[in-house]
């Protein structure tokens, strides 16, 4: 952060300008009475350090019909956030980021995901995002809190949660949600697409652009088909199109990622000469590692066929194995000989270590005078120190912001004191049953509004009589802000334990209803039997379990949902050659069928191309600025792997 940014942010924080000045439409309840809007506090630590809640960022909820075909029926609230453009003269069409899933969420991740990936768009535009129905903060309406609370011990101790228990849990969860009166048949991509249009109308945007990633591309395509009003342009990054059998062909993206390495090496003269027939080598290595893994030694675990899958699959995760493709032919060659030198270096991070100042200077040492070296050294070390200072400043600004929030709300430290006293009293019982009972009662508080009476009931039900008076005395002097802080703390802890199962339910409620039987276990088995790289069939247990759990739901795909989308709206389709979650072939097929789209592939990019390179970000920015113009894509060439060749003999 620059000094000017720090001064500006602190000034805004201290001035506490009302939301009504910065976001008048949202503060007034929204622009469309069909979809009322309310402002609410952003989640803790969600606001980017260079932003100020109420001034440059606002969070809220929009009320939409649970079923848009029944506008007078049940309603649900969806969490959203708007990040203002960094200009006093923004263009009127924002970018809305559609997150992946089904499930996921993004409002809690403004600082960690939305800001680093989309801040460039804010040079000209507002950026909008929201937690889709059955996702993130918006998923509470389909979260089975009673079932979760009843299984709180198993959720805190995942080893207790067997596949059999998980299936039973999901069955109870589905029953609890349907018994609550929720229409689970309304949780699908078409209704989600109608939510997108409703949100943008509600917060006052007539025209807008979409950037969707993963399931966000499925949703973006459905907006193009079912709710295109006001949609100016669309970027689809890591595409999961409705016509693709993505659950049947779960191994297809990984197979394509392997083949992309083979093809890129074959297209490079030096790589092809050093590593001819790379595809057959992959198969030979897989066979060898299945029969005879490289033993654990060197302070490293054994190298198995699952390590081979990991070598290709981990490149899909940003930062996991950066720029690893260039080493793959050499690693495979060594593995075939029973050696693992290069893999050990790569997996330890040694090949991607941040170079020291002296290492940076070394290539130019003979071209610089002593004085020039000294100046260069000072500049390089100053840059490193500035990066560390930036990180510390971000932490400081976030802490200052949270402190001001708590002070404004009127909170003291009574919430922490109450929590500590409760914890000590329950632990002192030395009773496993009492501790589990207390945990279940605490979990039951998560969906409830903050209430002193609920806390009195908790104390009276679980705290030994001798400890009750002192704990209740603290409770009585707690302000509303203290009570809210305690509820927020236990909610955060419980939701951390709930996260895996809530995420699974959020996925299944959409996928099982609209993607089955279009995707079937029989089709899955047939596809895996035809794999070019058959060893990928060893890593499919999670997908098999999904087909079993989907039997708990009644398939209700919307008519025509699995037809390919065509649209005159300009679209840009991006895919990463390292992506092991979505298919590059599906991306190219989607662009071809859309009719007004182009597809671009990015070397050394995994799932979510813009996460991996400035090149992908800049091409996306250029497209949104002028959707019909020719794009300068020369930077893609610079991303190609610089192959590591075998040592000279």
Going from N- to C-terminal start, the domains of the chain cover 138-186+412-514, 252-352, 360-409
Cβ neighbors of 398 (< 8 A, separation 6 or more) are 45, 47, 49, 111
Q: How many CB atoms lie within 10 A of CB 288?
A: 17
- Asked whether the beta carbons of 151 and 169 are under 8 A apart, the reply is yes
- Within 13 A of 609's CA, how many CA atoms are on the CB side? 31
Question: Is 42 in contact with 19 (CB distance < 8 Å)?
Answer: no
Cα→Cα distances 58→126, 493, 499, Å: 11, 25, 25
What lies within 8 Å, CB to CB, of 13 at 6+ separation is 52, 400, 401, 404
Check residue 289 and give its pLDDT: 97
What pLDDT score does 28 carry?
95
- How far, rounded to the nearest angstrom, does the alpha carbon of residue 563 sit from its chain's CA centroid? 27
The H or E element spanning position 237 is: strand 231-239
User: In residues, how long is the chain?
Assistant: 649
Name the packing angle between helices 480-514 and 414-427 (round to 10°): 70
**Direct distance between the N- and C-terminal alpha carbons of the chain, in angstroms, rounded to an integer:** 50
Contact 482, 412 (CB under 8 A): yes
pLDDT recorded at residue 158 = 62
Question: β-strand 571-576 against 231-239: which pairing, if any?
Answer: parallel
DSSP 564: P
CA distances from 295 to 291, 463, 498 (A): 12, 53, 38
pLDDT reported for residue 391? 59
Residues of the chain with pLDDT under 50: 9, 13, 409
Residue 231 CA to residue 78 CA, distance in Å, equals 20
Q: pTM for this structure? A: 0.89
Select from 647, 532, 596 the least CA-distant residue to 260: 532
Closest-CA residue to 240 (of 206, 186, 189): 189
pLDDT for position 107: 97
Summary count for the chain: helices (H), strands (E): 27, 9
What is the Cα–Cα distance from 450 to 486, expressed in whole angstroms? 8
Distance between CA 6 and CA 16 in Å, rounded? 16
């Amino acid at each position: 952060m620059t000094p000017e940014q720090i001064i500006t942010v602190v000034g805004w924080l201290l001035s506490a300008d009302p939301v009504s000045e910065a976001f008048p439409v949202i503060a007034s309840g929204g622009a469309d009475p069909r979809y009322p809007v309310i402002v609410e506090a952003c989640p803790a630590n969600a606001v980017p350090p260079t932003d100020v809640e109420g001034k440059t960022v606002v969070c809220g909820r929009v009320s939409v019909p649970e079923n848009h075909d029944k506008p007078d029926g049940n309603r649900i609230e969806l969490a959203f956030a708007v990040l203002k453009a960094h200009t006093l003269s923004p263009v009127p069409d924002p970018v809305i980021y559609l997150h992946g899933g089904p499930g996921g969420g993004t409002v809690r991740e403004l600082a960690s995901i939305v800001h680093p990936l989309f801040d460039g768009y804010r040079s000209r535009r507002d950026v909008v995002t929201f937690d889709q129905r059955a996702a993130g903060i918006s998923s509470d309406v389909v979260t089975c809190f009673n079932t979760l609370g009843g299984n709180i011990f198993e959720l805190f101790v995942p080893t207790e949660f067997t596949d059999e228990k998980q299936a039973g849990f999901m069955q109870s969860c589905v029953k609890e949600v349907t018994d609550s009166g929720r229409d689970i048949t309304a949780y699908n991509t078409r209704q989600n697409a109608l939510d997108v249009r409703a949100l943008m109308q509600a917060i006052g945007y007539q025209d807008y652009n979409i950037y969707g990633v993963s399931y966000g591309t499925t949703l973006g395509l459905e907006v193009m088909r079912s709710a295109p009003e006001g949609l100016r342009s669309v970027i689809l990054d890591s595409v999961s199109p409705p016509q693709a059998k993505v659950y049947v062909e779960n191994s297809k993206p990984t197979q394509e990622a392997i083949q992309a390495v083979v093809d890129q090496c074959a297209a490079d003269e030096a790589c092809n000469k050093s590593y001819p027939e790379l595809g057959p080598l992959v198969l030979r290595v897989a066979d060898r590692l299945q029969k005879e893994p490289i033993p654990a030694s060197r302070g490293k675990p054994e190298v198995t066929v699952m390590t081979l899958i990991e070598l290709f699959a981990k490149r899909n995760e940003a930062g996991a194995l950066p720029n690893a493709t260039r080493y793959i032919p050499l690693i495979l060659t060594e593995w075939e000989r029973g050696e693992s030198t290069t893999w050990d270096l790569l997996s330890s991070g040694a090949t991607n270590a941040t170079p020291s100042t002296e290492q940076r200077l070394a290539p130019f040492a003979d071209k610089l005078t002593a004085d020039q070296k000294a100046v260069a050294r000072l500049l390089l070390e100053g840059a490193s120190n500035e990066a560390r200072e930036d990180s510390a400043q971000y932490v400081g600004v976030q802490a200052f912001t949270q402190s001001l929030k708590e002070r404004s709300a009127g909170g003291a430290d009574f919430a922490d004191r109450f929590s500590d006293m409760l914890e000590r009293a329950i632990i002192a019982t030395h009773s496993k049953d009492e501790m589990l009972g207390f945990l279940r009662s605490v979990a039951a508080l998560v969906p409830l509004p903050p209430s002193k009476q609920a806390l009195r009931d908790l104390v009276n039900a679980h705290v030994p009589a001798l400890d009750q008076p002192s704990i209740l005395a603290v409770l009585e002097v707690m302000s509303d802000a203290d009570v809210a802080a305690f509820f927020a703390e236990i909610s955060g802890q419980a939701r951390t334990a709930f996260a895996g199962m809530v995420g699974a339910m959020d996925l299944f409620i959409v996928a099982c209803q609209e993607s089955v039987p279009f995707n079937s276990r029989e089709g899955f088995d047939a596809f895996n039997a035809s794999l070019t790289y058959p060893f990928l069939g060893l890593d499919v247990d999670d997908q098999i379990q999904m087909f079993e759990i989907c039997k708990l739901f009644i398939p209700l795909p919307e008519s025509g949902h699995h037809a390919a989308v065509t649209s005159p709206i300009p679209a840009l389709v991006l895919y990463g050659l390292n992506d092991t979650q979505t298919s590059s072939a599906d991306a190219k097929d989607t662009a071809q069928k859309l009719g007004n789209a182009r597809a671009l592939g990015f070397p050394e990019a995994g799932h979510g191309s813009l996460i991996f390179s400035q090149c992908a970000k800049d091409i996306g920015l250029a497209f949104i600025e002028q959707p019909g113009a020719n794009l300068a894509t020369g930077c893609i060439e610079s991303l190609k792997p610089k192959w590591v060749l075998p040592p000279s003999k």
